[in-house]
Amino acid sequence: MQLRFVGCGDAFGSGGRSNTCFHLTGLRTNLLIDCGASSLPALKRLGIACNDIELILITHFHGDHFAGLPFLLLDAQFSRRTQPLVIVGPPGIEARLTQVMEALFEHSSRTPRKFELSVIELAPEQPTRFGAVCVTPFPVVHGNSGGPFLGYRIEAEGKIVAYTADTEWTDSLIPLGRDADLLIAEAYTYDKAVKNHLSLAALEAHLGEIGPKRLVLTHMSDDILGRLDRIGHVAAHDGMSIDL
């Protein structure tokens, strides 16, 4: 399997990076993790066939993780997609998707599609299977607006990929990432405490408990981007690929 960082930036495009969007593929796996506002052009820039994506996992409803969906769905409609698409996320996702589609492209949520679209809510800590992929969401902590907030533990083709999403430290990150083949973790700051976000220092304090086989940092602000030469961990960049 392969994980590609389509976008790994924060909400402010720090370092010129695109909004969060990860592409996980394998013999029986083709999914996106989050779909921030800039995702469609980033996917096309990397030559990723959007209409082959079968599943999209949304962590929360902030624009840098969610607002690319209307563009992706309209592109699917106009490019004559026929393959079914499943979008999953926190409770309320179907209503939120309708709202953002109407805000950006009036009447688009009611336009008949040539492909089947399923929008499914996930309950925290309840594993759900989508074909060859098993997804277990974990509650994370990211403020009072734009939620509920979920991180994901994804099991597919004998591998485990875990993603903290945007969150301050919470003990749910331990079972989320425990022994994962790849843990993708927010590292918004180096050691500065910022409410609702994870610092590298807070993450490092618990890495021994999590025990991931590989760690890649994402969603980094300028505070940590300026220190990449001394952090001692792999930092994502747009277009980067990880083979699993």
- Would you state the pLDDT for residue 124? 95
- Residue 191 annotated among the catalytic residues of the structure: no
What residue numbers bound the domain in which 32 lies?
Answer: 2-233
Instruction: Please report whether residue 145 resides in a domain.
Output: yes
**Which pLDDT belongs to residue 187?**
98
Is 49 domain-assigned?
A: yes
242 within domain boundaries: no
Q: How many domains does the chain have?
A: 1
Burial of 175 per CB tally in 10 Å (0-12, 13-18, 19+): middle
Residue 107 is assigned to a structural domain of this protein: yes
Query: Which residues of the chain, if any, have pLDDT below 70?
Result: none
Cα(first)–Cα(last) distance of the chain, in Å? 5
Residue 243 is assigned to a structural domain of this protein: no
Q: In the block, which residue shows the tokens 């945007």?
A: 166
The pLDDT assigned to 102 comes to: 97
Residue 32 in contact with residue 58, Cβ under 8 Å? no
Q: Could you tell me if residue 53 is inside a domain?
A: yes
Name the amino acid, one letter, at 226: G
- Looking at residue 220, its pLDDT comes to 98
Tell me the β-bridge partners of 25: 2, 30
Sign of CA dihedral 9, 161, 242, 34: negative
Please give the pLDDT value at position 239. 98
Query: Distance (Å, rounded) from C-alpha 196 to C-alpha 143?
Result: 6
Residue 232 burial (C-beta neighbours within 10 Å; 0-12, 13-18, 19+): exposed
Q: Is residue 244 part of a domain?
A: no
Write the CATH number for 106. 3.60.15.10
The region that residue 17 occupies, defined by phi over 0 for left and psi between -120 and 50 for alpha, beta otherwise, is beta
Catalytic residue among 10, 34, 64, 238: 64
> Which residues lie across from 30 on neighbouring strands?
25
| Residue 85 maps to a domain | yes
Distance CA 171, CA 196 (A): 14
